[in-house]
Amino acid sequence: MERPRTIRKVTPPVTLVAPPPIPRAAGSLPVLGHAVQLMRDNLGFIASLRARYGPLVEIRLQPGIRTLVVQDPDLIRTMLTDLGPSLDKGRFFEKMGQLLGDSVVTASGRPHVHRRRRLQPAFARPEIARYVAVMRRRTDTAVDRWRPGRRLDVHRAMADLSLDMLVRTVFSGSLDDEAFRRVRENLSTVMRGVGLRVVLPDWAERLPLPHNRRFEAARAAVRTTVTRAVADLEATGHDTGDMLSLMLRSPDEETGRPLTGDQIASEILTLAVAGTETTASVLSWALYELARHPDAEARLLAELRQALGERPVAFEDLPRLAYLRRVVDEVLRLHHTGWLVTRRTVTETSLGPWTVPAGTELAYCQHALHRDPALFPHPLRFDPDRWLDSAQPSPSHAFLPFGAGKHKCVGDRFAVTEVMTALATIVRRVRLEPPRGRPVRPVAQATVRPRSLVMTVRRRAAPPVRPAA
Ligand code: HEM
């Protein structure tokens, strides 16, 4: 007799799909980790990871400490925004802290909130509007010195101009530019040193090598110059109403006591580094790309002619200069200055489907992200029109020129305003001839900049621009 068939309902076992293991990038050595590849070509190495690995890949900068390079744009946003408040700043900022001391860029948590609040008034919209005329005049003064036919070290000229614009706006009343000029002289040595210290194991810093000695001497010189300038102003008791006076007047929100000279020097140095290394590179690359793309330069000149006629650019003009804005965005994409922005987990942390332990370094590379062909078609092509609303697909979700979340650049509006103002002023007065031969290569120190950019100055033919009053 056939047994009656019983039908049993079977509930499938609940299986949680484990995320794939995080790969380690090939070529890591026992003590040096990936230092050899990074020393040889840091930008190239980090960029190569995007093509070879998925959303997360591990590299070794330091024995025993994992650094996860976050490559997926959504995960990067999660790291910066949702996880932002619970993460420390990580290795890059720790090394910057050797120069800057304790400041808004190295701080996290509540101390960061206090420090950031202190800086924000200098970057509010009404202040920026006031700065434009100063930025334009400083640019005119710089261009006055460029003799036609002369070969100009464009990056150096833009570094001087960026510093000049910052000193005459945010620090208008108190810091004399001689102090800042002395800072500049030593800054490139220190920035090179910071870039190197990010990629080398910590023990290499303690070796009695010439580059370590140069770094220490330059760091000491920079800090002494700024600390002395702060002490001088404090001694006069003069309130100039600028950022430095504001810091001298406002108490430390954490302790209620006045800020020490050392604390103020750290914040000033931070603005000098964050606000000039970046802008100088963006301006340099913009002039380079315009020189290499006469059609783009002609469109820009036509826009400026139509919007301004012969008068100099003013704050109110900037929103109407749509092509100029697209040129700036395209330079921020193609030549971003950030190559390894870091964070560090303080507790076990979920990042997408992965769980990473406390003490893990997280990092992302804007330069490589903005050149990913899956996100930005023909990424090496300089194409300001990719930012037109009609351009498909819109690449903006992976575009992070000023970061995101609570550490988003405090000077973003200032930076875009000064770059637009300077470009609108320079291109109407002079034409810069691009260097002959091979394209200019980027080099990553603490930030990414042109390795060497020398262009020949030519006077722009008609129509002349009436010099700014
Ligand atoms: C085009 C030029 C600039 C670029 C591309 C740029 C980019 C950035 C980025 C990506 C960050 C976020 C870093 C992070 O996620 O930890 C940042 C932070 C910062 N930037 Fe800028 N920046 C520029 C200009 C400026 C200027 C002109 C200033 C000030 C004068 C400035 C001051 C700062 C400061 C103080 C921070 C730290 C903010 C915080 O942690 O709360 N930057 N910048």
* Residue 417 in contact with ligand 1 by CB distance below 6 A: no
> If you take atom 22 of ligand 1, which residue's CA is the nearest one?
409
Instruction: Output the CA 366–ligand 1 centroid distance in Å.
Output: 13
Instruction: Output the CA 136–ligand 1 centroid distance in Å.
Output: 22
Instruction: Output the CA 9–ligand 1 centroid distance in Å.
Output: 60
> If you take atom 36 of ligand 1, which residue's CA is the nearest one?
409
Q: What atom in ligand 1 is closest to the CA of residue 166?
A: 30
Q: What atom in ligand 1 is closest to the CA of residue 80?
A: 15
Asked whether 66 and 58 are in contact (CB, 8 A), the reply is: yes
Summarize pLDDT for 392-405 with one digit per residue, the tens. Answer: 666 667 999 999 99
Give this prediction's pTM.
Answer: 0.91
* Residue 401 in contact with ligand 1 by CB distance below 6 A: yes
> If you take atom 20 of ligand 1, which residue's CA is the nearest one?
409
Q: Which of 409, 410, 423, 447 maximizes ligand 1 atoms within 8 Å of its Cβ, making it the mutation to test the pocket?
A: 409
Residues of the chain with pLDDT under 50: 1-12, 14-15, 464, 469
Instruction: Output the CA 402–ligand 1 centroid distance in Å.
Output: 6
* Residue 104 in contact with ligand 1 by CB distance below 6 A: yes
Asked whether 72 and 48 are in contact (CB, 8 A), the reply is: no
Asked whether 431 and 133 are in contact (CB, 8 A), the reply is: no
Can you give the pLDDT at residue 119? 87
* Residue 90 in contact with ligand 1 by CB distance below 6 A: no
347: how many CB neighbours lie within 10 A of its CB?
A: 9
153's enclosing H/E stretch is: strand 151-153
Q: What atom in ligand 1 is closest to the CA of residue 342?
A: 16
Token reading at 225: 């110059």
Q: Which has the closest alpha carbon to 358: 344, 369, 375?
A: 344
* Residue 97 in contact with ligand 1 by CB distance below 6 A: no
- Domains of the chain, CATH where assigned: 35-459 (1.10.630.10)
Summarize pLDDT for 245-261 with one digit per residue, the tens. Answer: 778 777 777 787 878 88
* Residue 447 in contact with ligand 1 by CB distance below 6 A: no
Instruction: Output the CA 28–ligand 1 centroid distance in Å.
Output: 32
Can you give the pLDDT at residue 438? 85
Can you give the pLDDT at residue 16? 62
* Residue 278 in contact with ligand 1 by CB distance below 6 A: yes
Instruction: Output the CA 424–ligand 1 centroid distance in Å.
Output: 22
Q: What atom in ligand 1 is closest to the CA of residue 418?
A: 27
Token reading at 299: 């469109």
Can you give the pLDDT at residue 173? 61
Strand 430-433's sheet: what is its strand order?
151-153, 454-459, 430-433
Instruction: Output the CA 220–ligand 1 centroid distance in Å.
Output: 24
Asked whether 242 and 131 are in contact (CB, 8 A), the reply is: no
- Residues near 146 by Cβ (< 8 Å), separated by ≥ 6? 152, 157, 430, 457
> If you take atom 17 of ligand 1, which residue's CA is the nearest one?
409
* Residue 434 in contact with ligand 1 by CB distance below 6 A: no
